[in-house]
Structure 1
Amino acid sequence: MGCDGGTIPKRDELIKVKKRPEQKDKASELSFKWCHCAITQQRLQVPIVACMLGRLYSKDSVIEALLDRTKMPEHAAHIKTLKDIKDLTLTVNSSFKGGAETGDGYIDRQTAQYICPTTGIEMNGKFKFCFVWKCGCVVSERALKEVKDDICHKCQTTYSEADIVILNPEKDDLDLMTVRMDARQARLKAEKKAKKSAKTSTVTSSDQTNGATNSSNGVTGSTVEATNGEGPSNNDLKPKKDEGSGSSKRKTAKILPSGSKEIEDPAFKKSKSSYSVAKDDNASKVYKSLFTSSDKAKTKTSAHWITYNPFYN
């Protein structure tokens, strides 16, 4: 049973000592954080997105959490709409071998699925990685420091320092990302408010111009009535009823100078009931023959080719 001279006991076996708390493996913790969604804790699925604080998510899980707010954890409560996340443009590592872990072989967890397109550093958590909020291109922090330029290394989009978001920040970097997130949201609200005020101002200005034109039309109408008071009588200005049809539709009054006769418009001449094509001097014989009222159609003994008359058959 032990202590019989064949074994050498250790100190913690003979004396009660205070147990040390279990320590997490930093390497496994980093690999889990960079390869799994921050909402569902499952492996990241394409398309991969990130929030303004730099946390990684699968886009499908974000959409499900937005539809059902009970699935949204506290650390992702700042995500209110899809505008609060950005689709990431990642560079795939050609040496990465994906697949299911069977447990019967060595698994290299330090080989990342994505790398920096400029320096080739693997995105496994050992090095800082950033992305530009305007375009979503992911590069390493070392690449941003080596190539000091305000243009994205991948898509050539111009950006400022406030547009840079650090992925999976910690401590001071997390505080910096929180400050930048608040400033970005305040700027977006101010721009939205400015657009709304500009839109309302354009609508009011257009209404004012329409009111001015209507008032000017009213002034011109009154001046026309005042000037026409000297010419024709008031009976000529009143709208007349259509005597032929008997309807009560009003016609527009025509103002003519004194002593002049109204010239009949030939376009309105054909609309009268007394008009006949057969009596029209301007119509040709071929055009007149199309109608049954022509002389040629009256002398025919057969049916007309347009209007069928059963009396001829």
Structure 2
Amino acid sequence: MESKPQLFQIFVQSPDLRIPTRALIFQNPNPDLTLQNLKTSLFPNISPPHHSLFFTLNGKPLSDFTPLLQNSSIAPLSTLTLHLRFNGGGGDGGATGAESRDCYLNMYAVKKPDKVDPNESRLSKWLNCNLSYEPLKHPVVIDKLGNLFNKEALVEALLKKNLPKQFSYIKGLKDMISIELAEILGGRDSGAVKFQCPITGLEFNGNYKFFAIKGCGHVFSAKGFKEVKSSACLICHKEFVESDKIVINGSEEEVNELWEKLKEEAKVKDNGKKSKKVKNGDVVVGKDAGRLTGTKHGIEGNGVKNHSNGPSKKFKATDVAPANATKAVYASIFTSSNKKDFKETYSCRSLPLGRN
């Protein structure tokens, strides 16, 4: 009784040579058959030399000496692809465009910075704290320019006085605005929390514009404000005006507008401070307007107000000396001594020379 012949079938294709897929069936094949033998048998009169062709399986190049039957990766019904091997193109000792070998080596001496994916950069700005770069988690705050922070990280930086220079305008808690972000239920990804607009459901990821209300801290998308027009917060119903809305991570133009508003507020605050140092003839503003000191406000040393518009006269004791008093003796009551005859020490103001 004759044994049943062994059959081995594979498919071969070659887009480079414009050869359609062909099915090859081997009956009792030679176990020493290699891919090199396969190329020779398939294309005996092919115009490119055989060393210019190579097989791949699932995109992985195969050596010409790979056995066809004894290789576990080439299973029955596998599809082998035949490619043309193109020489040159760099890395083969050809032209590099470099003027010398040093220039060629210097091309790879300095590591080029990795390109930053703009989508990842945008997501990081909206989902992470601008200070610690950790995922946002309540309590969350924004500054008056619309930057997002974890409150704990920002307060810690203020206490340790290591706040970066770009945030130097943040001086304390009064410069923070606590906000309430609506969390997406089931939206946690790798431990990070995702947020959304509580009205429209738009995701808080930088693809849409969001505003925070200063008074209550609730955050809505611009579309939410547009669809539900109201002068009260859509959650807590607290009244607000248009100037109470702060854009979060706004454009460069919007941030510049917020910066100008911040400088105006600082200017008004400085103008409202009470002046402590008043020059001669100046007017005191605020609650210190009624406090008059010495001759700086037209008051003479003897308590008599000077109504003249000219400079006030400096007080001298001899100006109010009694009629029969010697002016020098009277003045000595109010002065320590004659500077020509005495000098001061740390313990006494009028020790005669030669006694100390």
Letter in 1 for 2:86: I
How far apart, CA to CA, are the structure 1 residues paired with 2:271 and 2:244?
17
Q: 2:261 aligns with which of 164, 174, 180?
A: 180
Deviation at 1:153, TM superposition (A): 1.6
Does residue 77 in structure 1 map to residue 168 in structure 2? yes
1:83-162 → structure 2 map (5 Å cutoff) = 83-100=174-191, 113-162=194-243
Q: 2:145 aligns with which of 53, 62, 66?
A: 53
C-alpha spacing 1:141/1:9, structure 2 compared with 1 (3 Å): farther
Could you report, residue by residue, the CA deviation over 1:52-92 in whole angstroms, capped at 9, with x for unpaired residues?
011111111111111111x2112211100110001111111
C-alpha spacing 1:198/1:117, structure 2 compared with 1 (3 Å): farther
Letter in 2 for 1:116: C
> Which ranges of structure 1 fall in alignment gaps of 5 or more residues?
102-111, 203-313
How far apart, CA to CA, are the structure 2 residues paired with 1:178 and 1:11?
53
How far apart, CA to CA, are the structure 1 residues paired with 2:129 and 2:263?
23
Deviation at 1:198, TM superposition (A): 7.6
1:181-196 → structure 2 map (5 Å cutoff) = 181-186=262-267
1:1-313 → structure 2 map (5 Å cutoff) = 5=52, 7-9=85-87, 11=89, 16=96, 22-69=114-161, 71-100=162-191, 113-186=194-267
Secondary structure at the counterpart of residue 143 of structure 1: helix
How far apart, CA to CA, are the structure 1 residues paired with 2:267 and 2:181?
28
Could you report, residue by residue, the CA deviation over 1:216-252 in whole angstroms, capped at 9, with x for unpaired residues?
xxxxxxxxxxxxxxxxxxxxxxxxxxxxxxxxxxxxx
Deviation at 1:160, TM superposition (A): 2.2
Higher strand proportion: 2
How far apart, CA to CA, are the structure 1 residues paired with 2:216 and 2:287?
28
Secondary structure at the counterpart of residue 144 of structure 1: helix
Letter in 1 for 2:229: K
Deviation at 1:150, TM superposition (A): 2.5
Q: Which residue of 1 aligns with 2:329?
A: none
Cα pair 1:129 1:141 within 8 Å, conserved: yes
Secondary structure at the counterpart of residue 83 of structure 1: helix
Deviation at 1:172, TM superposition (A): 1.2
C-alpha spacing 1:98/1:189, structure 2 compared with 1 (3 Å): farther
Secondary structure at the counterpart of residue 215 of structure 2: coil
Letter in 1 for 2:147: R
How far apart, CA to CA, are the structure 1 residues paired with 2:273 and 2:262?
17
Higher helix proportion: 1
Letter in 2 for 1:48: V
Could you report, residue by residue, the CA deviation over 1:101-141 in whole angstroms, capped at 9, with x for unpaired residues?
9xxxxxxxxxx611111111110111111101122111111
Deviation at 1:8, TM superposition (A): 2.1
Secondary structure at the counterpart of residue 38 of structure 1: coil
Could you report, residue by residue, the CA deviation over 1:179-227 in whole angstroms, capped at 9, with x for unpaired residues?
232334455667787xxx887799xxxxxxxxxxxxxxxxxxxxxxxxx
How far apart, CA to CA, are the structure 1 residues paired with 2:250 and 2:87?
46
C-alpha spacing 1:16/1:57, structure 2 compared with 1 (3 Å): farther
Letter in 2 for 1:57: F
Letter in 1 for 2:212: F
Secondary structure at the counterpart of residue 62 of structure 1: helix
> Which ranges of structure 2 fall in alignment gaps of 5 or more residues?
1-50, 54-84, 98-106, 275-284, 291-356
Size of the aligned set, in residue pairs, is: 187
How far apart, CA to CA, are the structure 2 residues paired with 1:145 and 1:9?
62
Aligned-residue CA RMSD in angstroms?
3.3
Deviation at 1:15, TM superposition (A): 5.4
Could you report, residue by residue, the CA deviation over 1:17-62 in whole angstroms, capped at 9, with x for unpaired residues?
7999753212211111112111122222321111001111111111
Q: Which residue of 2 aligns with 1:264?
A: none
Cα pair 1:88 1:136 within 8 Å, conserved: yes
Larger deviation, residues 90-99 vs 5-14: 5-14
How far apart, CA to CA, are the structure 2 residues paired with 1:123 and 1:93?
10
Q: Which residue of 1 aligns with 2:30?
A: none
How far apart, CA to CA, are the structure 2 residues paired with 1:200 and 1:88?
39
Secondary structure at the counterpart of residue 57 of structure 1: strand
Identity of aligned pairs, percent? Answer: 26
Cα pair 1:162 1:180 within 8 Å, conserved: no
